[in-house]
Chains A and B, each alone.
Chain A
Amino acid sequence: MNIDKKIVDDLVANDVSFITTVPCKQLAGVIEEVDRREGILHVPSNKEDEGMGLCAGAWMGGKRPAIIMQNTAIGVTINTLATLIQYYRMPLPMLISYRGELREPVACQVEMAVHTKALLAQLNIPTYHFHHQSDAAELDEILKYTFMCNKPVAILTDANFWGGYGDQ
């Protein structure tokens, strides 16, 4: 089964109906799939902290939100995660492309990759790492867990999960 479709099916099955995104090459397919779904309001944001603000508002308005972003955005959103999403106890699934891991062609991506899990751990953010496509079998449970505990939850998806970088 197509992995982009599976991910978005799980989001829809868990009533996620508001999604904000900042693109990453690896997330292109899943973002296209989000755009195809009638039941999802897709509001692209210009920066991921802005996106988390949109998600906080959507949640308080009665919609289950999600953010799709690159791991470099952890560096952009720490204040927002701590003082908005965590402080007010809001659920937020974060589907994150984990750049700078094995098969990465762009050296600079490694610089945030080496901090990604440490920063998430420092913030006490439950973190799942998808390395093989079969790992996505847990996505449904992860989404249920996120909306059960009202926390931000990180789902890191690395290059191996996405099948490498194609022609790069």
Chain B
Amino acid sequence: MIRSEILREIAPILRDQLVICNIGIPSQELHAIDDQPSNFYMLGTMGLASSIGLGLALAQPKTVIAIDGDGSVLTNLGTLPTIANNVADNYILLIIDNGSYGSTGDQPTYAGKKTSLAAVAQACGCERVIECQAEDTGAVLQAAIDARQMTVIVCKCDSGNAKMPVITMDPVVIKDRFMKAVQA
């Protein structure tokens, strides 16, 4: 399974939650599959989806799902100790680990080689870390929402991208409708 197939499968779960989505093709895919005001698309700034998601979860009570990529987590590895040490039980970090920098042409990352992001998250002090296969993502994600415990999910999947249009929505519109969804 590739990222777009996972997103299609979990879209019915995501649509009722606040979602912060990783830069590039992940956001394009989510936007094309099921655009929602409760989705915050990152148009730039590789690496900060997990940080934005944590700040959001700490600031208000609704469940927040940050959909990140292995490459982006590797570029902002400092996020994992911050997550571990500032527990927000309404926070789920879903790392779609395709072992590559998908958006830029599937160049391999170290997460697809010797480095285990689940083991790194655990070593950083994250208490609920679940590594799963792509097929099980929906069930694992729903269980994490129901558990109301901070969870890091590392979803191992294949590399590959669906062809989706670039997001042309203005960033201020994305932010504005997202903030209204947060307050609703």
Contact = CB atoms under 8 A, between A and B. Distances in A.
CB-based closest 9 A-B pairs: A57-B55, A61-B59, A53-B51, A46-B78, A83-B44, A53-B48, A57-B56, A54-B55, A61-B60
A58 B48 contact: no
B58 A58 contact: yes
Given A63-B60, A83-B45, 15 more contacts: A41-B58, A43-B54, A45-B78, A49-B76, A50-B79, A53-B49, A53-B76, A57-B52, A57-B56, A57-B57, A57-B59, A61-B60, A65-B55, A87-B171, A88-B171
A45 to B, nearest CB: 6
Nearest to B56: A57
B51 A88 contact: no
Contact of B45 (A18, A45, A84): A84
Interface residues on B, range: 20 to 34
A55 interface: yes
A58 B56 contact: yes
Contacts of B57: 57, 61
Interface string B55-69: 111111000000000
Contacts of A57: 20, 51-59
13 contacts: A43-B86, A49-B45, A50-B78, A53-B76, A54-B82, A57-B59, A61-B60, A63-B59, A63-B60, A80-B45, A88-B171, A89-B172, A89-B175
Interface string A129-150: 0000000000000000000000
Interface in A14-73: 18, 41, 43-47, 49-63, 65
A156 interface: no
Contacts of A52: 48, 51
Interface string B1-35: 00000000000000000001000000000000000
A90 interface: yes
Interface stretch (B96-104, B109-117, B176-184): B176-184
A53 B43 CA distance: 13
Interface of B: 20, 40, 42-45, 47-60, 76, 78-79, 81-82, 86, 171-172, 174-175, 178-179, 182-183
Given A60-B178, A84-B48, A53 B171 contact: no
Interface of A: 18, 41, 43-47, 49-63, 65, 79-80, 82-84, 87-90
A2 to B, nearest CB: 28
Contacts of A47: 76, 78
B95 to A, nearest CB: 16
A96 to B, nearest CB: 20
Contacts of B171: 87-89
A62 B182 CA distance: 8
Contact of A87 (B44, B81, B183): B44
A55 B48 contact: no
Nearest to A85: B45
Contacts of B45: 49, 53, 79-80, 83-84
B31 to A, nearest CB: 16
